[in-house]
A and B are shown apart, each in its own frame.
Chain A
Amino acid sequence: MTLPITSVTQDPENLTLTIVADFPVPQERLWQAWADPRQLERFWGPPFAPATFTHHDFTVGGRAEYFLTGPNGEKWSGSWRFTAVNPIDSFEAYDGEDNAEDEFGPASMTFTFETTPTGSRLTGVIRFATMEALERTAPGMTEGLRAGMPQLDAILAGPAVSTEE
């Protein structure tokens, strides 16, 4: 199986992660997966913590709300506030935690969708506003990754992330 990931670029100076992935489906189909909360929740959460979207108002100013359910019943909630929605080409959102009505969420996300000769391409740029935002959203996630997916350790490029308190 060919993995759809084309590249992942980290920029620690600007706390930014850029993901490029190619899929063998039309751009319209790729967009649909993000527009339909039932499809979105099948890939947003990691396998050990599936996502449930309780709200998905995919319009400018609209919000999406979701929670992840961990292996021991822990819940992590999150929300997006859409700042741009251009079907089927792009959308932008602030990613907040605990459904807080943050004016500026801890992370901004921009996703663009393009048609390619082999299907479609997704480019995601995730930018954390501050180091604190990156720290704050990381613990539950990194612990979860460790508990549920030891095989991912091999993928971790850098030194182990310390989450011990």
Chain B
Amino acid sequence: MVVGRDESEESLNQLFRALADGTRRDILARSITETPSVSGLAARYEMSFAAVQKHVAVLERAGLIRKQAHGREQLVSTDRARLQRAGELLDAYESLWRQRVAQLDDVLSPKGR
């Protein structure tokens, strides 16, 4: 996690508050290596679903994690994981487009090459 120099004091406070709690640090650590669901996380800790949801919300407000809907579940992931995954998927699309453009070139060249 890189904190910019222009990061306001308030968001730094939010960040440190978010990291000051053991459960939240655990949730964050899990979200870096996997994409747990909020209900899956709730089952891991001896606290109510609502309490776990609250922890997730604090981490989200601090910009450490993000939630995404997946069917009826809320999945938790870190921005880093998200960006990495986006990169992987865009790689696949890039391959598709390279192929597509090569085919378009074939269509445009008279009687093939």
Contact = CB atoms under 8 A, between A and B. Distances in A.
Interface string B71-113: 0000000000011011111111111111111111111110001
User: Is chain B's binding surface mostly helix, strand, loop or mixed?
Assistant: helix
Interface residues of A, number: 46
A155 B93 CA distance: 11
A147 interface: no
Contacts of B106: 42-43
Interface residues of B, number: 31
A160 B92 CA distance: 9
B69 interface: yes
Contact of A155 (B87, B90, B98, B101): B98
Contact of B94 (A17, A29, A46): A17
Given A132-B68, A149-B99, 16 more contacts: A3-B102, A8-B97, A15-B86, A19-B97, A21-B101, A21-B104, A23-B108, A24-B109, A42-B106, A43-B103, A130-B68, A131-B68, A134-B89, A155-B94, A155-B98, A158-B91
Interface of B: 68-70, 82-83, 85-109, 113
